[in-house]
């Protein structure tokens, strides 16, 4: 879903990773991490949905570049419902966002980290 968006692809190309960013990856780039996930239950049992928390980290050489990518990613994910690939997304909502500055290999890196709650199930 993220990589097929023209605005995101225009900023990061194919530098979107699940779990870990490749050591040789250029900036800006995006890392997606599944923080937690559990089945959703209603009064009659399992609702057939999973509620997952996904953290999206944007890494860039400047705050402005990180902000541009984070805004583009948010525009794709926040409020999304529909089918992407083999997944039916019922709801995706941003819960919080924070900016972090750290040093990586002696270079200052700007990160914007966003948490999303995603309700999903396999597409039929």
DSSP-H helix ranges across the chain: 6-12, 63-77
Q: Is residue 44 part of a domain?
A: yes
How many domains, in total, are found in the chain? 1
- Residue 1 placed within a domain: no
Q: Tell me: the pLDDT tens digits for 32-44?
A: 999 999 999 989 8
pLDDT tens-digit map of 59-76: 999 999 999 999 999 999
As a whole number, mean pLDDT of residues 66-90 equals 96
Strand stretches in 12-124, DSSP E: 16-18, 29-42, 45-60, 82-84, 87-104, 107-122
Query: What CATH number should be reported for the domain holding residue 43?
Result: 3.30.2000.10
Do the domain assignments include residue 59? yes
């Amino acid at each position: 879903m993220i990589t097929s968006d023209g605005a995101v692809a225009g900023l990061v190309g194919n530098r979107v990773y699940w779990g870990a960013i490749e050591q040789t990856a250029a900036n800006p780039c995006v890392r997606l991490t599944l923080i937690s996930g559990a089945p959703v239950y209603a009064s009659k049992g399992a609702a057939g949905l999973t509620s997952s928390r996904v953290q999206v980290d944007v890494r860039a050489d400047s705050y402005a570049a990180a902000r541009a990518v984070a805004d583009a990613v948010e525009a794709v994910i926040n409020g999304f419902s529909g089918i992407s690939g083999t997944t039916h997304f019922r709801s995706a909502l941003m819960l919080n966002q924070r900016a972090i500055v750290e040093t990586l290999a002696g270079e200052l890196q700007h990160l914007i980290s966003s948490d999303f709650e995603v309700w999903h199930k396999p597409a039929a």
